[in-house]
């Protein structure tokens, strides 16, 4: 009993430290039954290229954020329920190793660990926590996930009209299919329910037509799919997510092969905090 109380107190202090590291802008993390399983840094592909992020694995959540003040403070907190995660293991590339894909309803992104052992630990523990959570019957797994964007370098022309990209004829990405498209082929905006329930996102002409057809179906079916469309009146009308998404998630340079393993040499290793998934008495 004493050991259980000690473990509960240690767990509460660890979660409190993570919560406090995000400052007043972070959401509360302490909750009855929640256990901090492990923490560490991973390289995450974002709009500005690969960036080190602090990741925290709980028995019901995956939390990550940007690192400031030498890792003592974090910002742009992102919280993903484990039932909304799908993990896909990936083989090593020519210039990048220890990578895998994390899919969620709102976004899908690549991450990489400093070693294969850390990669395996992250995937194993995440899937184990997810399995236990779903077996408890308290959560239901997500059935819809955001597409992974096709890298800019995969096409020199728009994948809809085939016009060549130039400095003036820029690349964009359709949030529905992930294709690389030009501005002229992505003037429309649509609400894609599983990504964001209210904000209008950039979509290509073909996906917009598909969404319009969906809206023409019976109202109950359309509501279930959660997609609605609207033409953009001007660039000022476009709203594409939170500041974290604008600065980091809208991956216009989504090419994992550009990552360099040397950026991870000095990182702190993944720390597995709870060898056994003990339900603390908080």
Q: What was the pLDDT predicted at 13?
A: 93
Which residue is it, tokens 């092969």? 257
Adjacent-strand bridge partners of 57: 38, 62
Q: For residues 253 and 170, is the Cβ–Cβ distance under 8 A?
A: no
Q: What is the pTM of this model?
A: 0.68
- The domain over range 2-144+257-272 is classified in CATH as 2.40.50.140: no
Q: What was the pLDDT predicted at 53?
A: 93
Could you tell me which of 82, 58, 80, 46 has the C-alpha nearest to residue 245?
46
In this structure, what DSSP letter does residue 163 have?
Answer: P
Helix (H/G/I), strand (E/B), else coil: 75: strand
Could you tell me which of 63, 2, 55 has the C-alpha nearest to residue 31?
63
Instruction: State which H helix or E strand residue 221 sits in.
Output: helix 219-225
CATH class of 152-253: alpha beta
Q: What was the pLDDT predicted at 94?
A: 65
Cα pseudo-dihedral 243, 44, 80, 120, rounded to 10: -170
The 10 Å CB-count burial string (b at 16+, else e) for 113-126 is: bbeeebbebbbebb
Spatial CB neighbours of 138, under 8 Å, sequence gap ≥ 6: none
Return d(Cα 195, Cα 239) in angstroms, integer: 13
In this structure, what DSSP letter does residue 149 have?
Answer: P
Start and end residues for every CATH 3.30.40.10 domain found in the chain = 152-253
pLDDT per residue as tens, the chain (282 positions): 335 556 889 999 999 999 999 999 999 999 999 999 999 999 987 655 678 999 999 999 999 999 987 767 999 999 999 999 999 998 886 666 899 999 999 888 889 999 999 999 999 999 999 999 999 887 888 778 787 777 777 788 999 999 999 988 899 989 888 888 999 999 999 988 778 888 898 999 989 988 877 665 554 444 444 444 444 433 333 333 344 444 433 333 334 444 334 444 445 666 766 544 444 444
Start and end residues for every CATH 2.30.29.30 domain found in the chain = 2-144+257-272
Return d(Cα 63, Cα 80) in angstroms, integer: 6
């Amino acid at each position: 009993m004493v050991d259980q109380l000690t473990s509960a107190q240690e767990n509460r202090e660890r979660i409190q430290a993570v919560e406090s590291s995000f400052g007043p802008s972070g959401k509360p993390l302490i909750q009855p039954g929640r256990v901090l399983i492990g923490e560490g840094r991973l390289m995450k592909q974002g709009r500005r290229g690969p960036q080190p992020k602090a990741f925290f694995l709980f028995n019901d959540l995956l939390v990550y954020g940007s690192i400031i003040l030498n890792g003592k403070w974090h910002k742009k907190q992102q919280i993903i329920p484990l039932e909304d995660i799908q993990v896909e293991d990936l083989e090593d590339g020519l210039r990048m190793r220890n990578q895998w894909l994390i899919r969620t309803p709102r976004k899908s992104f690549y991450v990489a660990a400093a070693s294969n052992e850390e990669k395996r630990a992250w995937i194993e523990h995440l899937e184990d926590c997810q399995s236990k959570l779903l077996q408890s019957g308290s959560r239901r797994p997500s059935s819809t996930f955001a597409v992974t964007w096709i890298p800019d370098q995969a096409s020199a022309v728009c994948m809809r009209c085939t016009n060549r990209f130039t400095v003036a004829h820029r690349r964009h990405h359709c949030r529905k299919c992930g294709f690389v498209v030009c501005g002229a082929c992505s003037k429309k905006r649509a609400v894609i329910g599983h990504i964001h329930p209210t904000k209008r996102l950039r979509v290509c002409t073909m996906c917009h037509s598909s969404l319009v057809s969906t809206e023409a179906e019976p109202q109950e079916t359309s509501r279930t799919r959660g997609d609605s469309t609207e033409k953009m009146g001007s660039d000022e009308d476009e709203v594409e997510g939170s500041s974290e998404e604008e600065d980091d998630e809208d991956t216009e340079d989504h090419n994992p092969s550009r990552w360099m393993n040397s950026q991870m040499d000095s990182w702190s290793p993944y720390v597995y905090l709870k060898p056994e998934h003990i339900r603390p008495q908080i």
